[in-house]
Amino acid sequence: MLRVKINNIEFLVNSNLSVLEACQFVGIHIPRFCYHETLSIAGNCRMCLVEIEKSPKPVASCALPLSNNLSIFTDSPLVKKARENVLESLLLNHPLDCPICDQGGECDLQDQTKIFGGDYSRYYSNKRIVESKPYGALIKTIMTRCIHCTRCVRFSEEIAGTSSFGTFNRGKNTEIGPYVLNIFDSEISGNVVDLCPVGALTFKPYAFKARPWELKYYESVDCTSSLCTPILINVKESDIVRIQPKMDLQLNNSLISDKIRFVYDSVKKNRIQQVFKKNHDKGFSIETWFTFNNKISALIKEKKKITFLINENLDFESTQLLKSFESTHIRVINTSSFSSQYKNSYDQLYCRNTESIYKKIKTCFLLSTNLKIETTLLNTKLRLKYNKNAFNTISTGSFHKSNYPIKFINLSTQNTINLFEGKFANSIKFVENINVLLVIGSAFKNKITKSLNLISLFKKICPTGLIIDNQIYPNSVGFDFLGINGLVNKTIMSTDFFFCINLEDTTKIRKLLFKKNFFWFNTHGSSVAVHANFIVPTLTFFEVENTYLNLDGIKRKSQKVLSGLKDSQSVIYILRTIKKIIIDHSKSFITTCNNNFLNKIDNNNKFKFKPILSFIDNKFDFVFNCPNKNILENFYNDSILTKNSVILSKRAQEKQKNAHNIF
């Protein structure tokens, strides 16, 4: 602890802080443009100048470390005049286009000018004009507004791991832009707009849509990622116009992926708006919910064998209710991975705190996973870890691009286990460090027995190591906790009707449902839906409150921000109706669920897991039996919502062109 004096008041603060951080800690705000908590120190905007006793001139507080008995003045006449001069120099070439700027009302330059700026200008020459740079379909640039704070440059290099932004020329000719004209190729590119303190970088889809004072703000969570990070949804009238991250530096959360940031336009695209029934002439007729309920009642009365096909995007309450359906005639199957799954939750050997990767980890093993696409924010955490303390990353999956160095080795599942068992000459190099992180992908987990052997073996070799079970979907942990079985060939052959709830239109699903009787419950239409006996509309996570268990085992709840379509119902409402029909016909069909799993949450909002494992025979033809490689997906079109987003479709096309050097 150090004793410092700020504005003639003594404080005790930590010794590892800068002057700006110390003032912020005691509640004194110091204006800044270039400084940001998640980026390195630049010290080039000079807005955070303070006066230090016995110093001949003001100093930049963001770059000055504390020393004992330091006397600091933040509101002296010298400091006020220095800030006024800095703002005057920044406004020399800044255009006066606040009325048409999308940053208006949220602009740091506006705020600082109102508080610290002068009331007149002494500059009468022509202002400089800078050519705007092309950064793709998401980011709009007006570089004449740029004040050269270099936040975007540091974000691009330190967090995104690309060279899309840079500083070139000198003096009054300084510009910010790409060295080679190209799109900003990053899955978290939208966060650079949040960092920009002026209107130089804004969102193209948000351009001229709304002003901040016209918006309503709703707190929700990212339901496209397994981490379920908090977000802020901006709504104007009855439309979502923008999605932003909810800043929480204590949880190290200030970033969101482009997927959740721009998926909102799919809410009104290609939606299923009414209940449809397939006729004998292969056409469809509009039906009522009463007709649909009668059809369900007839199936239950005839004792048809029904299988509910669901994926890990389904919320926890609906999954728990479905679990209570299971009986001789009704089964619930997880289609996110066509393999057997753990029952009744989760192995206690897994780490459920992704923040622990910031500990003294020296080596990271990636088994059949591409974190950059599958879990973008977890990959960003590893990138930040690499920046602070370089560590070795080894991947046993297929080669893929990453934003930090990775050593790739092509090994099968058995050879991976042999590597950890020490049967190779270089095995000692891979496990010589006691601080090791092991990230297991979905392709490796499909081979249950071998993956468990590796997990137990890893814990014996590295008892202090961390194991992260990489999940892609928001409720994957909830599925493991409830013990939803995987799909096997025997289930397919013995099923009379499939109830498909929120499934994706994939090749595997098409093969599975070919010439089968099935009901399609979904928010959007697809090529599979036109072959269903019934098409039933449901609600998106923007239109209903849902609960999920994220990758850290923490309960996250999405909020209702929009009103659903007239004839659409939430999945939980539909399932409760089906349950009532089942109970009315035969109480022997269902096994009631006596335990409310959501009540097993402790005061820290986390689940307490108990390892209960069981397996079923896996003979399904679609199991990934190739060597230990990950399944690559298109990051921007991997779900039913993202596939119907025009913004993300344009971004996916740009990325594909960029990969082939066409852009």
In this predicted structure, the answer to whether residue 122 has a pLDDT above a threshold of 90 is no
The three-state secondary structure class of 406 is coil
In this predicted structure, the answer to whether residue 447 has a pLDDT above a threshold of 70 is no
In this predicted structure, the answer to whether residue 267 has a pLDDT above a threshold of 60 is yes
Question: Average of pLDDT values for 79-104?
Answer: 92
**Confidence (pLDDT) at 468:** 87
**Confidence (pLDDT) at 399:** 77
Query: Tokens 């046993």 map to which residue?
Result: 396
**What confidence tier does 190 reach under pLDDT thresholds 50, 70, 90?**
very high
What would the CATH number be for the domain defined by 2-90? 3.10.20.740
Buried b (16+ CB within 10 A) or exposed e, 46-74: bbbbbbbeeeeebbbbbbbebeeebebbb
In this predicted structure, the answer to whether residue 622 has a pLDDT above a threshold of 60 is no
Segment 467-512, tens digit of pLDDT: 888 888 898 888 888 888 777 777 788 888 999 999 988 888 888 8
Window from 171-185, 241-255, 643-657 with minimum mean pLDDT: 241-255
In whole angstroms, give the CA distance from residue 160 to residue 153. 10
Percent of the chain residues past pLDDT 90, beyond the cut? 42
Question: Average of pLDDT values for 163-167?
Answer: 90
DSSP class per residue in 281-338: TS-EEEE-HHHHHHHHHHHHHTT--EEEEE-TTS-HHHHHHHHTT-SSSEEEEE-SSS
In whole angstroms, give the CA distance from residue 646 to residue 636. 11
In this predicted structure, the answer to whether residue 444 has a pLDDT above a threshold of 80 is no
Percent of the chain residues past pLDDT 70, beyond the cut? 86
Question: Average of pLDDT values for 188-192?
Answer: 94
HSE (side-chain half, CA atoms, 13 Å) at 405 = 8
Question: Average of pLDDT values for 555-574?
Answer: 89
Helix (H) or strand (E) holding 556: strand 555-558
* φ, ψ for residue 480, nearest 5 deg: -65, -40
pTM of the shown model: 0.87
**What confidence tier does 547 reach under pLDDT thresholds 50, 70, 90?**
very high
Question: Average of pLDDT values for 37-59?
Answer: 91
Give me the count of residues in the chain: 663
**DSSP alpha helices (H): ranges in 74-180?**
77-90, 108-116, 151-154
**Confidence (pLDDT) at 343:** 41
**Confidence (pLDDT) at 171:** 85
**Confidence (pLDDT) at 213:** 93
At 254, list the tokens. Answer: 């200030």
Window from 174-183, 290-299, 354-363 with minimum mean pLDDT: 354-363
In whole angstroms, give the CA distance from residue 196 to residue 563. 33
- Three-state SS annotation for 30-85: CCCCCCCCCCCCCCCCCCCEEEECCCCCCEECCCCECCCCEEEECCCHHHHHHHHH
In this predicted structure, the answer to whether residue 579 has a pLDDT above a threshold of 70 is yes
**Confidence (pLDDT) at 429:** 63
**Confidence (pLDDT) at 359:** 74
In whole angstroms, give the CA distance from residue 637 to residue 649. 7
**What confidence tier does 542 reach under pLDDT thresholds 50, 70, 90?**
very high
In this predicted structure, the answer to whether residue 585 has a pLDDT above a threshold of 60 is yes
Other C-beta atoms closer than 10 Å to the C-beta of 78 total 14
**What confidence tier does 345 reach under pLDDT thresholds 50, 70, 90?**
very low
**Confidence (pLDDT) at 189:** 93
In whole angstroms, give the CA distance from residue 93 to residue 172. 10
Query: Tokens 């020459």 map to which residue?
Result: 125
At 30, list the tokens. Answer: 């110091």
In this predicted structure, the answer to whether residue 594 has a pLDDT above a threshold of 50 is no
Segment 395-425, tens digit of pLDDT: 887 777 888 888 888 777 777 777 777 777 6
What would the CATH number be for the domain defined by 354-473? 3.40.228.10
Domain map (residue ranges) of the chain: 2-90, 95-204, 275-345+477-630, 354-473
**What confidence tier does 62 reach under pLDDT thresholds 50, 70, 90?**
very high
In this predicted structure, the answer to whether residue 86 has a pLDDT above a threshold of 90 is yes
**Confidence (pLDDT) at 612:** 26
Of the ranges 222-236, 294-308, 611-625, the best mean pLDDT one: 222-236
Question: Average of pLDDT values for 187-205?
Answer: 94
**Confidence (pLDDT) at 257:** 93
**What confidence tier does 330 reach under pLDDT thresholds 50, 70, 90?**
confident
Segment 197-252, tens digit of pLDDT: 999 999 999 999 999 999 999 999 999 999 999 999 999 998 999 999 998 655 55
Pick the CATH number of 275-345+477-630 from 3.40.50.1820, 3.40.50.740, 3.40.1530.20, 3.90.960.10: 3.40.50.740
Pick the CATH number of 95-204 from 3.40.50.300, 3.10.20.600, 3.30.70.20, 1.20.120.450: 3.30.70.20
Window from 84-88, 282-286, 586-590 with minimum mean pLDDT: 586-590
**Confidence (pLDDT) at 113:** 93
Query: Tokens 């003639």 map to which residue?
Result: 8
In this predicted structure, the answer to whether residue 614 has a pLDDT above a threshold of 90 is no
Q: In what order do the strands lie in the sheet with 239-245?
A: 216-221, 230-236, 239-245
Question: Average of pLDDT values for 606-613?
Answer: 32
Decide if 165 contacts 153 (C-beta within 8 A). yes
In this predicted structure, the answer to whether residue 586 has a pLDDT above a threshold of 80 is no
